[in-house]
């Protein structure tokens, strides 16, 4: 219910300029009187309130279906700009991390993929004196069975509407911590200007064959 109300509020916010335009147009056509103002206001609120509620219900149902397919938690937080979920690979046999990386690099939605080892190599070239320290930290991270990959993910058709993301592997636990953050100029779910990161999370979980965990 909380998510439905959040979707409804987002829809009303977007439609509010149209409500004002309809209200002003009605007053211009019928003249300004208090009775006309009250009648136009009630008509506009009923009409656009119904439309926004139907809009919110459709968005809620669509997000619900996506969350079930991806096995992700479903709450009012799905509209947040940042989404962090703990996911688990469907197959945690030997080499599951490499298979996950391969699925990410082969996806048409992923680009600008950079591993932590690549970032460390770039920094060591810029600051040669710190190369041994960076290498030592990389070995320490590898020894703990953890690895991080940063990338951009395109939920829709346009690359400039992508989200920033990272994958943090925990080999010992067999889990992946996925962190996605919205950029600028996103239209969101069905034009609500919210929920882009959650949609991207559902897409990523499906394409990388990951499932939500109890802590996700």
Residue 68 lies in a domain: no
The residue range of the domain holding 164 is 76-212
Residue 204 lies in a domain: yes
Q: Are residues 119 and 18 in the same domain?
A: no
Span 170-214, pLDDT tens digits: 988 889 999 999 876 666 776 777 889 999 999 999 999 998 875
Nearest to 80 by CA among 177, 212, 213, 200: 200
Total domain count, the chain? 2
CA angle 164, 9, 68 (to 5 degrees): 55
CA angle 11, 38, 29 (to 5 degrees): 90
Helix or strand (DSSP H, E) at 36: helix 34-70
User: pTM of the predicted model, to two decimals?
Assistant: 0.74
Q: Are residues 178 and 122 in the same domain?
A: yes
Instruction: Identify the pLDDT of residue 187.
Output: 67
Q: Are residues 89 and 190 in the same domain?
A: yes
Cα 133 to the center of its chain, rounded Å: 35
């Amino acid at each position: 219910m909380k998510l439905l109300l959040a979707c409804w509020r987002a829809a009303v916010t977007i439609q509010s300029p149209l409500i004002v335009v309809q209200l002003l147009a009605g007053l211009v056509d019928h003249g300004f009187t208090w009775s006309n103002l009250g009648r136009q206001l009630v008509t506009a609120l009923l009409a656009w309130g119904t439309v926004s509620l139907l809009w919110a219900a459709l968005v809620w149902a669509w997000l619900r279906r996506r969350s079930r397919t991806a096995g992700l938690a479903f709450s009012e937080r799905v509209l947040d700009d940042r989404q962090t979920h703990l996911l688990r690979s469907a197959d945690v046999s030997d080499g599951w991390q490499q298979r996950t990386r391969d699925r990410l690099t082969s996806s048409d939605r992923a680009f600008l993929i950079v591993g932590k080892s690549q970032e460390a190599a770039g920094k060591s070239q810029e600051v040669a004196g710190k190369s041994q320290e960076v290498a030592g930290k990389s070995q320490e991270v590898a020894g703990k069975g953890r690895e991080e990959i940063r990338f951009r993910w395109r939920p829709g058709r346009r690359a400039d509407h992508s989200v920033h993301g990272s994958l943090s592997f925990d080999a010992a636990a067999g889990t992946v911590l996925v962190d996605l953050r919205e950029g600028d100029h996103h239209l969101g779910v069905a034009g609500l200007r919210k929920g882009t990161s959650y949609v991207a999370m559902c897409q990523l979980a499906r394409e990388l064959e990951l499932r939500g965990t109890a802590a996700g």
